Homo-oligomer: A and B are copies of this chain.
Amino acid sequence: MPEPIDFYFDFSSPYSYLLSEKIDALAARFGRSVRWRPILLGAVFKASGSAPLTLQFAPKASYSVLDFQRSARFMGLPYRHPDVFPIASQYAARACYWLEETQPAQARPFAQAVFRALFVDNTDISSLDSVLEIAARCGVDLDSLAAAVQGPALKARLKTEVEAAIAHGVFGAPYIVIDGEPFFGADRLPQIERWLENGSF
């Protein structure tokens, strides 16, 4: 069995949302699985000296919002730029790791529901309540989840994952690694497809 493809993402990243809607089906066509690894871009940008696109130079910021929407149309996906943006995603990220540890079958549907809540339904996903509400729709036991995402173990787990990602060279999201080869950005999807087809190019 080949190693899973690593998919580093932040729930608050528009291009991560776009890639999240495509990567599993693409990988499956080549008999590959995908390891979803939520990270926090805030910590990554602190390490790299960068910032969210929409907080950068004004022309770049406004182009970015146009490009999120146009790229979504290009990829055949719905997109509604959130009113709250950028947005904190640590509860969602911790919940994702907790599900992976305790109810792995629920982790992927939950992650997809979080992305769609933010980028299709304009939900403020930063609050614990929103995250619990999304989890409830995925059939998750809310009392255990609420305790876990506020506890020290999950905080530490997410911190470790983010630090490991940065140490691995992740400088933004989405960031895909296939057998050691890194691909940054949803717009690298055609290159990812060719890499999976040919092993390299």
**Which A residues between 54 and 69 are near B, CB-CB below 8 angstroms?**
56-57, 59-60, 62-63, 66-67
- Is the CB–CB distance between B187 and A187 below 8 Å? yes
A100-133 vs B, Cβ < 8 Å mask (1 yes, 0 no): 0000000000000000000000000000000000
A191: nearest chain-B partner, CB-CB: B74
Report how far A66 CA is from B188 CA in the complex, Å: 13
- Is the CB–CB distance between B182 and A63 below 8 Å? yes
Stretch from A25-33, A35-43, A152-160, A166-174 at the B interface: A166-174
Q: Which residues of B contact A56 (CB under 8 A)?
A: 48-50
**Which A residues between 62 and 112 are near B, CB-CB below 8 angstroms?**
62-63, 66-67, 70-71, 73-74
Report how far A59 CA is from B67 CA in the complex, Å: 25
Q: Given A71-B191, A188-B187, A190-B190, are A182 and B57 neighbors across the interface (CB < 8 Å)? A: no
A168-193 vs B, Cβ < 8 Å mask (1 yes, 0 no): 01111000000000101101101100
Q: How far is the CB of A183 from chain B (nearest CB, A)?
A: 8
A48: nearest chain-B partner, CB-CB: B57
- Checking B57, B67, B172, B191 against A184 with a beta-carbon cut-off of 8 angstroms, the contacting residue is B67
Report how far A187 CA is from B57 CA in the complex, Å: 21
Q: Confirm or deny: A22 has a beta carbon within 8 angstroms of a beta carbon on chain B.
A: no
* Contacts A59-B169, A187-B188 supplied; 7 other A-B pairs, CB < 8 Å: A48-B59, A48-B60, A59-B170, A63-B171, A74-B190, A74-B191, A190-B190
